[in-house]
Structure 1
Amino acid sequence: MKLDLSLMQWSFNKSFNSDSKIRILFFPYACGGASIYRNWQKFFPFDIDVIPIQLPGRENRITEKPYTNIDELTTDLVDILNPLYDKPIAFFGHSMGSLISYELSVKLQQFGIKPVHLFVSAHLAPHKSNHDTRDHLLSDDQLINRLRELSFTPEPVLQNKDLMNLLLPVIRADFSMCENYNFINRPALRCPITVFGGTRDKEVSTNELDEWKYLTNDSFSKVVIDGDHFFVHNHASTITTNIIERLGLI
């Protein structure tokens, strides 16, 4: 496939499988990069194209200005991802990536492009998202202490001033995307939704994940995994096996 330069910038792969039966786009959690899905292609058959999406402001795009609004991000992605719509497309998002994947699915459906499946993970359903926090407005020192409370970032990283000066803009931007997210009641998705949850996730309980079923007119399923909020790091095989099964590719 001839790559559009703007799309190449967003894809961690830098190439696509023109013989694929389906493309799955993977979105990371807040402050995370596409490299968390670096090795996931090995869990899938050759004809499933695994495409980790790299958002601005992290890893190889660290010098770029990050988005602070999910609506703006997904509106731009609808156009940027256009070369990929020649194949059936599915989405997987973990934590913040779930919100991005959902909003992108809704927008594509409005344009007549129906995703074949939405896979979400470790996040409240959009209509239940909590807006009580305003961490993106904290001072740098306060934000670092907040990250320490959340156990999101290793202590040696938090104590590295130069590294934190580099990371804080994207951390603040991602918190802003989540905390300023406004759910708009629109027609339900016409594709299945599968949600993954961790048994020890302090951010969202496995029971709360059931609310995702109200956002689709198709089937809903839930997969519970033994792990904390970041179970995505240790259970790639379990997650991908469930994705393959639910796509009917085995």
Structure 2
Amino acid sequence: MTKATDVSWFPPCRPEATPPPALDADAIQLFCLPHAGAGASAYRDWPALLAPGIEAIPVQLPGRESRHREPALRSAAELVTELKGPVAGCAGEDFALFGHSMGALLCYELAHELSALGKPPRHVFVSGLGAPHIPPTGPRLCDLPDDELVTVIAKLEGTSPEVLAQPELVQLLLPLFRADLEVWETYVHHRGPLQVPVTAMGGRRDPGVGLDLLSAWGSLTSAEFHLEVFDGGHFYHYAAPDEVLALIRERL
């Protein structure tokens, strides 16, 4: 179970009246990092679904949900510098990392930093993102006009049309989306290969992350590598959570 009570980074994602899921004494910790524009609640169902053998720990990054008053950080280096201490303090001897989209980039960087501290993760799951040594192509999404950026967000199918139809909500969300997109679009790869197993995961219909980009993660680890593809688009893990979580259980 978690050894830290830093609710800023690791907030409880269940209603206060709901008891925490029962865990095995030797449960494996799984730190879960969110996609662009999202917070820890993106994984609100995972603690109950993965218990008792795995303790899912959703991570809350600055600028969102319970930390909405804090400025969102705009580089992977800044985020990982702030995050590595809390994760290292919370992590036991047996833990893994999962990240979707922008969260996958943070997982990769965090795995390097934790390994340098002598606390390598057991496994790294990178989802919905091409390997970060291949720079993104095309115009920078973080610089698009508001209406064009909203169109891009809508095509990814991760934000409800009802939310995107409300101008007030859109104006609250767009600065966070821009900051998170900047994290990915300004990233410069400078790492050698990880020495921990990596599983790259994605949706067959993801418009921006093809199999070639997912497969390229294999060159970023000297340990075991797996490629897993699911039905669905960029947010395939919302459409088929049982399949995704079954794979995580099997791998861990």
Q: Same fold (TM over 0.5)?
A: yes
CA distance in 2, matches of 1:110, 1:209: 25
CA distance in 2, matches of 1:43, 1:98: 21
Q: 2:199 aligns with which of 174, 194, 200?
A: 194
Q: 1:228 aligns with which of 210, 230, 233?
A: 233
CA distance in 2, matches of 1:50, 1:204: 26
Q: 1:242 aligns with which of 238, 247, 251?
A: 247
Q: For this pair of structures, how many residues does the alignment match?
A: 244
- The answer for unaligned runs of 5 or more in structure 1 is none
Deviations 1:204-228 (A, max 9, x none): 1123311111111111111110111
8 A Cα contact 1:20 1:46, kept in partner: no
CA distance in 2, matches of 1:126, 1:115: 19
CA distance in 1, matches of 2:151, 2:51: 43
Aligned partner of 2:220 in structure 1 is: 215
CA distance in 2, matches of 1:217, 1:169: 37
8 A Cα contact 2:123 2:198, kept in partner: yes
8 A Cα contact 2:33 2:99, kept in partner: yes
Aligned partner of 1:164 in structure 2 is: 170
Deviations 1:88-123 (A, max 9, x none): 221011111110100100111122211100001111
Mapping for residues 1-250 of structure 1, pairs under 5 Å: 3-4=4-5, 7-13=6-12, 19-148=25-154, 153-184=159-190, 186-247=191-252
In structure 2, give the amino acid aligned to 1:192: P
SS at match of 2:7: helix
Cα offset for 1:12?
2.9
Cα offset for 1:233?
0.7
Moved more, 62-71 or 125-134: 125-134
CA distance in 2, matches of 1:43, 1:141: 37
Cα offset for 1:68?
0.7
Percent of matched pairs sharing the same residue: 36
Moved more, 43-52 or 207-216: 43-52
SS at match of 2:93: coil
Deviations 1:68-88 (A, max 9, x none): 111110011111223223332
Cα offset for 1:148?
4.6
Moved more, 47-56 or 210-219: 47-56
8 A Cα contact 2:3 2:90, kept in partner: no
Change (3 A) 1:10 1:173: same
SS at match of 1:9: coil
Under a length normalisation based on structure 1, what TM-score does the superposition of the two structures give? 0.88
CA distance in 2, matches of 1:200, 1:245: 24
8 A Cα contact 2:157 2:235, kept in partner: no
Cα offset for 1:195?
1.0
SS at match of 2:120: coil
CA distance in 2, matches of 1:68, 1:197: 25
8 A Cα contact 2:126 2:198, kept in partner: yes
- The answer for unaligned runs of 5 or more in structure 2 is 14-19
Moved more, 147-156 or 67-76: 147-156
